[in-house]
A and B are shown apart, each in its own frame.
Chain A
Amino acid sequence: MMGRTIFIDPGRCIGCQACVSACRECDSHRGKSMIHLDYTDEGHSVASLPTVCMHCEDPVAPCAEVCPADAILVTADGVVQQADTTRCIGCANCVNACPFGVPKIDLQAKLQMKCNLCYDRTAYGLAPMCATVCPTGALFYGTAEELQAERPGVQIADTFTFGETEVRTGVAMVVPADKVRWPVPGGLPVVEINGKDVRR
């Protein structure tokens, strides 16, 4: 996990979409929001969950790995940048590769866009726009120590499993203190590939 990063705490999310509006106001892709908000338990509860780019560390950003045009750069501090506009061919490989469903393609412009951790702000020591405004702290920007100082006893996870595959991310999730599971299941397990059962 990188030093200062975003921590997502779904337990605090009130579904207000301030992050979505703030992301739209951020200068690096003004007018488009790179966050989405999911209602995880619709019909039963008002629970919601914001998703930003998780800035995968290991394996290094699947989106960048599969990019045929080498348009997605990962900076030394672990930020997975959005596609370089001079290189992106809008093929959507990154969209298919991302286990978290983050990158978006602007079909008209044939360009990929995604959260770049507000590089224009973080490079100047500011928090990303979404984490700055989040009224509840469901998106927190800082170090793990800062988070723990503010929220005693908080538990975090930065490793997710997708079937057999483990992904370690630069952005971390806050998980319930009494239910720490390492790693956190990230989605449905992979059962078969091309008709072949890949379960052990």
Chain B
Amino acid sequence: MTADPRPVVPLDPSLAPPGTRAFRDAGGIPADRWRADQDGETLVPTHCCFCGVQCGMYLRVDRGGKVFGVEPRNHDINRMRLCPKGINAYQQVNHPDRLTAPLMRRSRDEVFREVSWDEALDFTVSEIKRIQQAHGNDAFGLLGGASLFSEKTYLVGKFARVALKSRHVDYNGRLCMVSAAGANKLAFGIDRAGNPFSDCLLTDCLLIAGSNVGECFPVMTQYVWGARDRGASLIVVDPRETAIARTADIHVALKPGTDSAFFTSVLNVVVEEGLTDEAYLAAHATGWEEVRAKAAEYPPSRAAEICGVPAEQIVQVARTFARAPKAMAWHARGIEHHSQGVENCLAVINLCAATGHIGKPGAGYGTITGQGNGQGGREHGQKADLLPGGRSIMNEEHRRQICEIWGIEESELPPAGTSMMEMVWQMQRREIRGLIGICNNPFVSLPNYRVVKEGYDATEFHAQFDFFLSETAANAHVVLPVTTWAEDEGVMANAEARVVKHNKAQDAPPGVRTDTWVMCELARRLGAGDKFAFADSRAVFDELRIASAGTVNDYYGITYERLEETGGIAWPCPSTDHPGTPRLFEDGRTYHPDGKIHLQVVEWHPPMDPYDDEHPMSLTTGRTVAHFLSGNQTRRLGALVEQTPRPWAEVHPSHGFRNGEPVRVITRRGSEVFPALVTEAIRPDTVFIPYHWPVPTAANALTIDALDPRSKIPEYKVCACRIEHAEKIDEVPAPPVAPGQVAYPEAQVSRTDPLPPTAPQGRGTSERS
């Protein structure tokens, strides 16, 4: 075998820091001397389109300019590693299901027909005007998505407020990690994870709460196992024995919906045993007395009863976490998707602060974002209550600043709107009569499907941007075909708040436009063209940088060029020579004016869907490793469908089911039948269903649309249910469009397109060093 000429990439975290150091390609793909030269193939460096890890990858592009494969990339974040979703992601770029012409129908009784962009946009604009003239500007809403590049999420917020002049804009990150965002903002005055992934390699104790890291963020597992290799203890809090929990030192299999009681009780033990860092608390925190008094109300005996775990385990967790010289806590949807999601996250923060595990290498907290841009997607004004730069839409000063940048009068800027689920309720009540959806699929992803369907059906006009005909797009009047991530450039911020740049790998198919182009064109037709004169993503990013300057979410120092030179830059980054901020609070100061952590009292309350004799068990939902969110993308990719073709109900053997038997899961919203997956890896009082499929096998037809009062996140992770034997398993519905076929028979193809093509954008370097 030939000697390996490449330097070995060691796992030393000091050599692979997040943030600003130039990322090394050592050990990467030798594009200059390998297959690339033989085939005329180029490797375009970019990132995965899916979860919040944002793994670096190369897209393989053939000499005809088409994406045809993937190569691992030695990026700091993932060091060549990829999960099955990442490996198969490229297949959606040239998938036969891609929409390549706008679809339109005047009423939901008609079938879609292919129309020109002009006709689709004219109809959309005339409907917007009609609805707003008759019912006011706020009768038209906009729902964005957190898989969009940050430039596009900035445009969504600006489009709603400046072009639509509506207060109603929100995004599907509302279903993702807003509880953590709310808690972080309350405690620290900044909404992001405190530490980079690589800090796991420096810690002595890793606490993972409500996160199925192995399936939802598989590539992060290397940091978890890396911590274990270095002797760190691992604590996992999860009702299921996940792949991570399987090898944990302590697996706390608590009852869903009891997390805050558990963590407050852990804090109780920490206080009782004198393991608090009083010096740290005195210098850096406010509210500790109140929090300590509340913790005294949660002795392990009480919490053990609430959570259904042994009291000794609570003591063990407290000692392991508090006695570790450095400890970190990571959490995700498992504790955030609750009507007390903010409290759950605050309880974890209280624990970290009380033990002084904040703001040090290997000590801190982090929240793992579900969507690729779950972090960046809310930073620049896509959320109902936020303006660019994380500014509050309720703050007079913030409003004035943004109006100045946007060139509008302050009186023209609408007030805060409502959250995504609340907008659906307003659609039901016909307060919102028209809607544009971008990059989301609420028919699968929102709870209580029946309510969602009613809400959407009640709209007079609904347009959806997508590159596949999702279940939600299939309900629309107008479907606008837009680009995939590989056909445009832009930035995303991953779970560490590290901003990374995605590069364009191929040109969009004829008839397909970028979301940027569509929003700007709609704005022009609505009479706000001068405010939306953006040629491409770079132009939007330059305005975004200026709009964020001086705020907590400061992107001003981040440029496309810097991102291409480095492995990504963590914000805040106030100037172009600033190295970025991979780790927060290293100077002991938070982003509150007094520089302190504002500890918050947490009180546990039962889940919103009460248990009774009819519904004695907990239903909890989550993801599988092969699928992503609503499955609109991954349910079309053969390898992933083969890996996980359908949902199931995970039940404990004590219920008497055999593997594969039909099990009917009944909640107050409805009932569905799944094959049973019988395993001891779940609590006897809990049922788990993965949520990626539409009705009649949609977990979200069963979940409750109760919201956290502060973050407005739905309570996906717990509702009351019962299970019964059934006769027949519900069929998984076929994809809306069978692969390779067009399902709108009366299609009037109108490919001649008088509109200018979408602006050309820079293709990433081929890295032929």
Contact = CB atoms under 8 A, between A and B. Distances in A.
A11 interface: yes
B221 A135 contact: yes
B88 A136 contact: no
Contacts of B659: 43
Contacts of A16: 83-84, 214-215, 218, 243, 625
A133 B221 contact: no
Interface stretch (A95-103, A146-154, A182-190): A146-154
Nearest to B11: A150
A47 B80 contact: no
A150 B679 contact: no
Q: Which of B3, B81, B243, B659 has the most CB of A within 10 A?
A: B243
A111 interface: no
A24 B680 contact: no
Contact of A14 (B88, B229, B244, B680): B244
Nearest to B28: A126
B353 interface: no
Interface stretch (A63-71, A81-89, A117-125, A157-165): A117-125
Contact of A18 (B29, B84, B230): B84
A153 to B, nearest CB: 9
Nearest to B4: A125
Contact of A137 (B78, B86, B222): B222
A132 B11 contact: no
Contact of A132 (B34, B72, B88): B72
B499 interface: no
A21 B4 contact: no
B508 interface: no
Contacts of A11: 247
B222 A135 contact: yes
A3 B2 CA distance: 11
Size band of the A side of the interface? 35 or more
A34 B644 CA distance: 19
A146 B1 contact: no
Contacts, number: 126
A33 B680 CA distance: 30
B246 interface: yes
Contacts of B695: none
B250 interface: no
A25 B81 CA distance: 14
B643 interface: yes
Interface in B22-67: 29-30, 34-35
Contacts of B220: 135
Contacts of A18: 81-84, 86-87, 218
A18 B89 CA distance: 12
Contacts of A132: 72, 80-81
A28 B80 CA distance: 19
B688 to A, nearest CB: 12
Contacts of B225: 12, 136-137
Contacts of A77: 1
A25 B87 contact: yes
B681 interface: yes
Contacts of B681: 44-46
B4 A136 contact: no
Contacts of A151: 229
Contacts of B625: 14-17
A46 B236 CA distance: 15
B626 interface: yes
A21 B84 contact: yes
Interface in B347-383: none
A12 B78 CA distance: 16
B243 A15 contact: yes
Contacts of A156: none
A137 to B, nearest CB: 6
Contacts of A133: 72, 80-83, 86-87
A27 interface: yes
Interface residues of B, number: 51
Nearest to B245: A46
B734 interface: no
B241 A43 contact: no
A4 B1 CA distance: 9
Contacts of B242: 46
A22 B83 CA distance: 9
A136 B78 CA distance: 10
A17 B626 contact: yes
A14 B221 contact: yes
A129 B69 CA distance: 13
A135 B82 contact: yes
B653 interface: yes
A135 B680 contact: no
B160 to A, nearest CB: 37
B219 A135 contact: yes
B626 to A, nearest CB: 7
B8 interface: yes
Interface string A35-47: 0000000111111
B624 to A, nearest CB: 10
Interface string B668-690: 00000000001111000000000
Nearest to A30: B69
Contacts of B69: 25
Nearest to A117: B1
B740 interface: no
A52 interface: no
A46 B246 contact: yes
A52 to B, nearest CB: 16
A47 B221 contact: no
A44 B87 contact: no
Contacts of A4: 1, 4
Interface in B209-252: 214-215, 218-222, 225, 229-230, 241-244, 246-247
B356 to A, nearest CB: 28
Interface string B423-440: 000000000000000000
A167 interface: no
A50 B531 CA distance: 55
B222 A14 contact: no
A149 B11 CA distance: 9
Contacts of B87: 18, 21-22, 25, 133
Contacts of A12: 221, 225
Contacts of A124: 2, 30, 34
Contacts of A126: 29-30, 34
A37 B762 CA distance: 41
A16 B3 CA distance: 32
B1 A135 contact: no
B593 interface: no
A4 to B, nearest CB: 7
Q: Which of B10, B69, B219 has the most CB of A within 10 A?
A: B219
B125 interface: no
B754 interface: no
A66 B731 CA distance: 46
Given A17-B626, A24-B639, A45-B246, A135 B81 contact: yes
Nearest to B624: A16
Nearest to A131: B80
Contacts of B78: 135
Given A16-B83, A124-B30, 12 more contacts: A3-B1, A11-B247, A15-B214, A16-B84, A25-B70, A45-B680, A46-B246, A77-B1, A125-B30, A126-B34, A135-B219, A150-B11
Interface of B: 1-6, 8, 10-11, 29-30, 34-35, 69-70, 72, 78, 80-84, 86-88, 214-215, 218-222, 225, 229-230, 241-244, 246-247, 625-626, 639, 643, 653, 659, 678-681
The 9 closest A-B pairs by CB, nearest first: A14-B214, A14-B243, A135-B218, A125-B4, A21-B87, A21-B84, A133-B82, A77-B1, A136-B221
27 contacts: A4-B1, A4-B4, A11-B247, A12-B221, A14-B244, A16-B84, A16-B214, A21-B87, A27-B35, A43-B678, A45-B241, A46-B243, A46-B681, A77-B1, A122-B1, A124-B30, A124-B34, A125-B3, A125-B4, A125-B6, A133-B82, A135-B78, A135-B81, A135-B82, A135-B222, A149-B10, A151-B229
